[in-house]
Structure 1
Amino acid sequence: MPSFQQLDTDKNGCITLDEYGFALRLIEQISGASSLQINSTSSESSSDVPGTTASTKHAQFAELSSYVFNTSQLGAPRRRLVEDYIETTGESEGYSETDEASVMAASPPIPIQHMSPPPPSPPAPPLDTNGTMAFVALSEYAQSHLGEAVGNANVTTIIISVNWQLDPSYISAYPLHISRTLHIAGECMDGLCEVDGGEQGPLFYILDGGALLLERLSLTNFFNTNGSVIRMSLGTLVINACNMSRNNASERGGVLHADGGNVTITNSNIAHNTARFAGVAYIYSSGHVSISECNMTGNTAEDGGVAYIHSSADVSISDCIMTGNTAAENGGLAYIHSSRDVSMNECIMTGNTAAEDGGVAYIHSSSDVSISDCIMTGNTAAEGGGVAYIYDSGNVSMSECTMTGNTAQFGGVAHIHSSGNVSISDCTMTGNIAAEGGGVAYIYDSGNVSMSECTMTGNTAEDGGVAFIHSSGDVSISKCSMLGNAAEDGGVAYIHSSGDVSISECIMTGNTAVYISDYDFFYVEDVQFAGVAYIEFSGDVSISKCTMTGNTAEDGGVAYIHASGDVSISDCIVTGNTAAENGSVAYIRSSRDVSMNECIMTGNTAAEDGGVAYIYDSGVVSISKCNMTGNTAEDGSVTYIYGSGVVSISDCIMTGNTAEDGSVTYIYGSGDVSISDCIMTGNTAEDGGVAYIQSSGDVSISDCTITGNTAFDIVRSMHSLPSPHREHQIQAEVP
């Protein structure tokens, strides 16, 4: 009888399933192999091996009693196939085809761990003339053996080389439980091997201690209540170079539902998956999730078009393209309900949509989110946060990002509801739109916003073309360029809060306060308040080392202040700002203090009153060490005081200012004016070459140089009788 030839192994110790036709059934016994390879039909696979013709198959089969799988690749000696037959029959010779069934019956398949035994395998199709079986005719048969291989502790690698549609009844009843390290890879001629779930699932269930690596597979058409392709309780999942598409979960996780463990997805396409929560991945409980170099397109969910992260999982998303993902409610890309960190780096997020809040991300709880070096374009939220909606106390950091054309009702880029903080640095924000407040950022409650080294151009909102602050949130803007932003109130910032605002080393040019009708951002009916900043309530504002040029509003070309907060403007260049009515630079309606120090204010124009500042009510204004040249107004080319406001002007140069009345200041009401150590030259007015007073207010001028001013008088008072309560109605000391 010819001696048995051992099964060939490749350099990795893999046994190819089609080496011998009868070897398909022997897979149940090859427990010593380090891996199992499932290949398509090969008519040449056995012709190169001596003694393997169809007529010698059973003779070789009998000789297996003297063969032990003991090669360097296969490890220690293993169970002998025919030993069970010898023990059963007491015979070692005369093995026949009829006896083969007895041998197989005496050697049942190795049971699969952590699951009920699968149904019996269907009968194997007949061998062809070369003793091989076509895999495409064996999908149901091989599927049961795949389950056995997964359950076999000695198999670490499974290679699939044909497209495969799973038996729906089998996969729904017997998911593959992973409790050890297993690698499953596709090696198909045309690229990825497709595994079709037949609208059933899940395919894999990863248990505590399990680790699954999937490569070069296309997982499609799976369905389950939670996690249509993969469910995991703990363990580790790694997916590389795979496609996951058209999978559906009726509840959570169109592809993955993870109750814990670590998940890594790289270099994969994830498209058109759906679920109620998380179109792709639902992460619950602790663990770490890393997604890199992936395309995520057209995924849909009620909350979290791609991912829903609940609890304390860390999430890192890098170098991904996320396009056209949709949430019927919140988080077009991600819904984060967690206390752990989320980072997005070098991603492109385009056209993601939320029907409610967070076109890209909805963040609920105290999560920290870091977004860096990303491009966010055309994302939309029907309510709040075209890019990010932050609810509760989550923090968001955005750096080196480009945010263009994002749209929301509140906060074209970010909406902060509660105490969450937002830091935006080195970003370009262009053409973002908010139908109501905050073309870039809307802060509701006590959240803080910091913007530094950013360029904000052409952003539009009803209130606050760049930022709207409602509540006590603080805003710090430094080293930014704000160009051509538009709003009904506050072309750059609208502050309805007690929060503080600090603006330093910025360039603010061509910002406009315009009336926007019915959220139509291109229909201009009238001009309103504050080309740069509209401040209402008690917040403090500090503007320093800024250049403010060509800003336009009805009242307050640069700032409209209607509050009790203090305002400080220092070391600024304020040029060519225009008010259609009052205060080309500042309109102040407040009882608090306003100081202007070391500023250059040139060529500012108010069509009515206050070429530089219009003060209404009882605000206190201090102007020192400023150069005010060529400013124009109907009354008071530099300051117009209406009410009981007090103005102190010292160490200033006021040259070439023009007004009908009061070329420098016009006082209407009971406000007092003190001017000291100033140079006032070439100012022009019909009445009051320096000051025009139509009130009971006092004017004191001391240590000033007053030359070349054009008017009948330097100080004109309209009082008919002096007040008995004042020692001096007008006191002028001119050297």
Structure 2
Amino acid sequence: ATDCTYLLTANIDGAGLPAITTPITLNGGKHTSITRAAAAEPFRILTVDTGGDLTLNKLKITGGQISDDDSNGGGILVEAGGVARINHSEIIRNIASNGDGGGIATLGITTIKKSAVNRNTAGLYGGGIYSTGSLIIKESHVEANNASSGGGGVASVEGTAQIEHSTISGNQSNQGGGMFAEDGVTSTILDTRITRNTASVSGGGILLGDGQLAMRRSILAANTAGSGDGGGLHVDDGSVTVTDSIIKANTAIASNGGGFFNDGEMTLFNTKVTGNTANQGGGLYNDSFDVLILFHTAVVDNLAVTDGGGIFNDGGTVELNTATGTTVVKNRPNNCVNVTGCPG
């Protein structure tokens, strides 16, 4: 029904609606919402159990709240073996007070297309979305979410995450303000903007721990790390490839790596790193024993408060490959520290 709000008042095993255990489609319309009544006890809106297959079309899911310890999915919970397809919908202002996934927690297979996951809150990981399974986000917005521990926008653990033609913006967390990925997760980011996210410690835009990340034709800009490293991206024992992208105006003013902090293996192809700021390594910081390789990449106009305006190499390996067109110029107070073939 168009312009209709369905108000839920009863708790059915932790959710406002019966658990989804078969193929179910919920079709909404313009301004159609399903919400928990403000006076009702806390419960999420929907649970997709093992064997369930939920499709949401043109619906707003809002007001869900789960408050039990370690309970996940303030708006929607997709259990292992469950499937959810969220199309042209909004997952807004839901809360997982003491768990993961303020908007959505998915242990199964979830696809989000042409939708918004905004203004949700998690007590642990994944303010907008928490995933341990297969997560696909296309042509969607994940904005203004908050998580205490990690992944203000998205937290992906163990499984796979694919994000295309989307925006992750204005999210906040302790680590990985925009996105937190760890425990061997494989992540792909294509044609996506990750901007204006904040981490109180490390990884303003993205924090990657022990996983793989491929980023192509994307923008990582205006993200901030507070007391820790990696204003744009913090790599902690992972592998990253960045291609045809822009890393711009990120900040780690109290520590290292305004654009990138690398404690793993990182390769940049045809990428521009510009206007980033940090205490050391305004553009890029490469930690000891780690590998940073650049092909046809520009590191330009970055600023370090102390040293290494363009690149600071703290005992690892940095390969500029200047024959491919890599340039490190116009950085302050110097271009590089401990980088062979780079003018100081």
TM-score, normalised with respect to structure 1: 0.43
What residue is the counterpart of 1:343 in the other structure?
188
Aligned position for 2:6: 164
What does residue 231 of structure 1 align with? 77
Corresponding residue of 1:216: 58
443, 448, 451: which one pairs with 2:286? 443
1:395 equivalent among 224, 239, 251: 239
The structure with more radius of gyration: 1
Question: What's the CA shift for 1:168?
Answer: 4.5
Q: Secondary structure at the match of 1:342?
A: strand
Q: Distance in 1 between matches of 2:310 and 2:294?
A: 11
Aligned 1:661-672 pairs, distance under 5 A: none
1:257 corresponds to: 105
After superposition, the Cα gap between the structure-2 partners of 1:433 and 1:174, relative to the gap in structure 1 and judged at 3 Å, is: closer
CA contact (8 A) 2:203 2:225 kept: yes
Is 1:361 aligned with 2:200?
no
Q: Shift of residue 453 of structure 1?
A: 1.2
Please state how far the C-alpha of 1:441 moved relative to its aligned partner.
1.3
Q: Is the 8 A contact 1:353 1:360 kept in 2?
A: yes
Distance (whole Å) between structure 1 residues aligned to residue 335 and residue 154 of structure 2: 34
In 2: Cα distance, 1:172 partner to 1:161 partner: 27
Deviation of 1:175 after TM superposition, in Å, equals 4.0
Query: 1-side partners of 2:297 and 2:307: how far apart?
Result: 20
1:432 to 269, 272, 276: 276
Contact 1:171 1:202 in 2 (8 A): no
Correspondence 1:240 to 2:87: yes
Runs of at least 5 residues in structure 2 that lack an aligned partner in the other structure? none
Q: CA shift at 1:270, angstroms? A: 1.6
2:160 match: 314
Amino acid at match of 2:7: Q
Q: Deviations over 1:362-411 (max 9, x none)?
A: 1112x11011111222111122111111112x111111111211111210
CA deviation after TM superposition for structure 1 residue 177, in Å = 1.3
Structure 2 letter corresponding to 1:197: R
CA RMSD of aligned residues (A): 1.9
2:221 to 356, 372, 377: 377
From the superposition, tell whether residues 440 and 168 of structure 1 become closer, same or farther in structure 2 (CA, over 3 Å): farther
- Deviation, 1:198, is 2.5
In structure 2, C-alpha distance between the alignment counterparts of 1:455 and 1:218, rounded to whole Å: 43
1:565-644 alignment, distance < 5 Å: none
Displacement of 1:201: 2.3
Instruction: Give SS of 2:19's match.
Output: strand
Structure 1 unaligned blocks of 5 or more = 1-38, 40-159, 496-500, 504-532, 534-557, 560-735
- State the secondary structure of the residue aligned to 2:317: coil
- The AA in structure 1 aligned to 2:312 is F
1:27-79 Cα shifts (integer Å, max 9, x gaps): xxxxxxxxxxxx6xxxxxxxxxxxxxxxxxxxxxxxxxxxxxxxxxxxxxxxx
Flag the 1:293–1:205 CA change in 2: closer, same or farther, 3 A: same
Tell me which amino acid in the other structure corresponds to 1:326: Q
Q: 1:118-173 CA deviation, whole Å, 9 max, x = no partner?
A: xxxxxxxxxxxxxxxxxxxxxxxxxxxxxxxxxxxxxxxxxx87222211456846
Contact 2:16–2:36 (CA under 8 A) maintained in structure 1: no
Q: Does 1:330 align with 2:187?
A: no
Contact 1:215–1:242 (CA under 8 A) maintained in structure 2: yes
Query: In the comparison of the two structures, how many residue pairs are matched?
Result: 327
Distance 1:477 1:431 in 2: 22
Query: Which one scores higher on RCO, CA 8 angstroms, separation ≥ 6?
Result: 2
How far did 1:212 drift?
Answer: 0.5
The 5 A counterparts of 1:356-505 are 356-365=201-210, 367-382=211-226, 383-392=228-237, 394-408=238-252, 409-417=255-263, 420-435=264-279, 437-461=280-304, 462-478=306-322, 479-487=325-333, 491-495=334-338, 501=339, 503=341
Q: Confirm whether residue 274 of structure 1 aligns to residue 121 of structure 2.
A: yes
CA distance in 2, matches of 1:426, 1:334: 23
Amino acid across the alignment from 1:215: N
Q: In structure 2, how many angstroms separate the alpha carbons of the residues matched to 1:291 and 1:402?
A: 21
Q: For 1:173 and 1:201, how far apart are their aligned partners in 2? A: 5
SS in 2 for 1:412: coil
Q: Return the offset for 1:338.
A: 2.2
Contact 1:197/1:219, CA 8 A, preserved across alignment: no
Q: Deviations over 1:236-293 (max 9, x none)?
A: 11101011111111121101222x3211001011211111221011113xx3110011
Q: Which residue of 2 aligns with 1:205?
A: 47
Counterpart residue number, 2:32 = 193
What secondary structure is seen at the aligned counterpart in 2 of 1:395? strand
Task: State TM-score, norm by structure 2.
Answer: 0.90
Mapped to 2, the partners of 1:468 and 1:304 lie a distance apart of: 27
CA distance in 1, matches of 2:119, 2:240: 28
Change (3 A) 1:281 1:423: same
Query: Against the structure 1 CA distance between its residues 448 and 232, is the aligned structure 2 distance closer, same or farther, given a 3 Å change threshold?
Result: same
Summarize the Cα distance change of 1:171–1:220 in structure 2 as closer, same or farther, 3 Å threshold: farther
Aligned to 1:691: none
Distance between the aligned counterparts of 2:260 and 2:15, measured in 1?
46
Asked if the contact 1:406/1:412 (under 8 Å) is kept, the reply is yes
| 8 Å CA contact retained: 1:175, 1:201 | no
SS at match of 1:359: coil
